Structure 1
């Protein structure tokens, strides 16, 4: 019988570590040309929205294949489907429905960036944004670093208060609401920028030496949550998918700045093929764009974890 999981099944906080470990292996496979991850494909329904498909998998002793599809139709609720097959024997391992897997996957990729680019002794996190992505990014940071303190800012005071209370309880971490973006990132060793802002909310003047920055929100020339001078200040700029960054319908926010050509593939940094952080004072920047196919890898690991026979 095909295993089917939903958002309620993925509520276990321990699944973040499972996702990060699965993606560590996937990124090493990518560096070795064993990860299948073509750019996403859109099918448009005029005046309604798109169905968006990502297909991917991994080659090796236990090859996997699968896809994710989600929609951009207008409505109060959105949904997505991830299906995973064993490519050895055509067995459908399972299906995962809902939004939580995508958020978990994106958070885990951010956690990998923090693991490999932030200072090993990073303890303080500044968070901009209080939505689902901010939550999973912070959970991933807590999974890879021994954090002491976090500050969160978002425009809605009620939302940032709720975020601080909820995540403090979930992670056992001291989390303080901040009154401004600048206050939230002051003295932070790690900055998580997960907003919907089309104008910069973080500038180079706000950063201390040695900080690592994850940006998850808008990153096109038409609108971007980070100031371009953050990239100028960064000694290392990385992304999870240079192909996807170049495939945006609207040009990537670093296009024409001279910094786009400096952008390394996170997989190559993890595999030691490209340089990562070289000193405690260096500023590092990770631009999350979504590595297609990785939902399949995370879904497979979760299916293995939650659906053990007996």
Structure 2
């Protein structure tokens, strides 16, 4: 059995490994072979929750496992992902820390770009400069032959640091800019990774044929994306329509007239639903972080990363 921590997940090649693992998982979802029940919260009064997700894949090499993380007050938050080989009851390993979750979320975004973005996408515009923005850009670079990226966030120092770090990590020209419009004006791929509760991106900011990725739940109580982007999108997809509609506050498209067009990304990947039909179409992906897929990514990482700390 292996035990891996955040420091063991520094390998830049892990993003491509995670994206390919999730491609398999989403094909399994379309064929009803992916195990991904809704998250389960266990509350501790006045402290927070422990949140559990269970996941796995049925088939020739079945996997099973779980993830648990906390919402307790405090600066330090730990996550645990455990993976079993379900055909022989062997515990493959455990992954501790927060990096795996970010890797998984980024990889889902990369999968959406692979199947909904323009095949010849060269330019990425990023709104936000936090951890999610970093993994989303890394995923875009893993599935596209990019020329350059531009990033905007409200804090000038943060966006400058993001540009320096990601340019070094990806070998890609990354420019910090002073507005949303400058970040996305000619971008083939647009990544929204902010905590804004009011729209920061509108359809007038986008070029024809742009693909937009958003990260995290968007509800009627707050969302970073103008409804006009959804109105203009030829395809609106998510990694889990059930999960998008299961939050306490309704999904941000509820009542807008476009909610009924929400498509499961797995069905697009499997050819059961239509994706991009022309180079001029705008497409939109709303990631909610399909529960259980951390197990699939953890299994691939455990297979890739050396011996870790064996027990």
Give TM-score, length-normalised by structure 2. 0.98
Deviation of residue 259 (structure 1)? Answer: 1.1
The answer to whether residue 162 in structure 2 is matched with residue 163 in structure 1 is: yes
CA distance in 2, matches of 1:223, 1:28: 32
Question: Do the aligned residues in 2 keep the contact of 1:198 with 1:218 (CA within 8 Å)?
Answer: no
- In structure 1, list runs of 5 or more residues that go unmatched: none
Q: Distance in 1 between matches of 2:165 and 2:289?
A: 26
1:260 aligns with 2:259: yes
Deviation at 1:69, TM superposition (A): 0.5
Q: What does residue 230 of structure 1 align with?
A: 229
1:86 aligned partner: 85
Name the stretch that deviates more: 202-211 or 44-53. 44-53
Report the CA distance between 1:243 and its aligned residue: 1.1
Equivalent position of 2:39 in the other structure: 40
Distance in structure 1 (CA, Å) of the matches to 2:187 and 2:38: 33
Q: Do the aligned residues in 2 keep the contact of 1:193 with 1:217 (CA within 8 Å)?
A: no
Displacement after TM superposition at 1:306 (Å): 1.2
Pairwise CA distance, 1:39: 1.2
Residue in structure 2 matched with residue 239 of structure 1 by the alignment:
238
Q: Distance in 2 between matches of 1:201 and 1:77?
A: 30
**2:105 equivalent to 1:101:** no
**Residue in 1 aligned with 2:63?**
64
Deviates more, 1:211-220 or 1:23-32: 211-220
Shift of 1:199: 0.6
Q: CA RMSD in A?
A: 1.2
CA distance in 1, matches of 2:44, 2:8: 31
CA distance in 2, matches of 1:273, 1:242: 15
User: Which runs of no fewer than 5 residues in structure 2 stay unpaired?
Assistant: none
Distance 2:19 2:216 in 1: 20
Q: 1:201-224 deviations in whole A, cap 9, x for unaligned?
A: 101111111000000045110000
Stretches of 4+ aligned residues off by more than 6 angstroms: none
Return the alpha-carbon distance in structure 1 between the equivalents of residues 193 and 226 of structure 2. 14
Q: Is 2:217–2:244's contact at 8 Å kept on the other side of the alignment?
A: no
CA contact (8 A) 2:217 2:287 kept: no
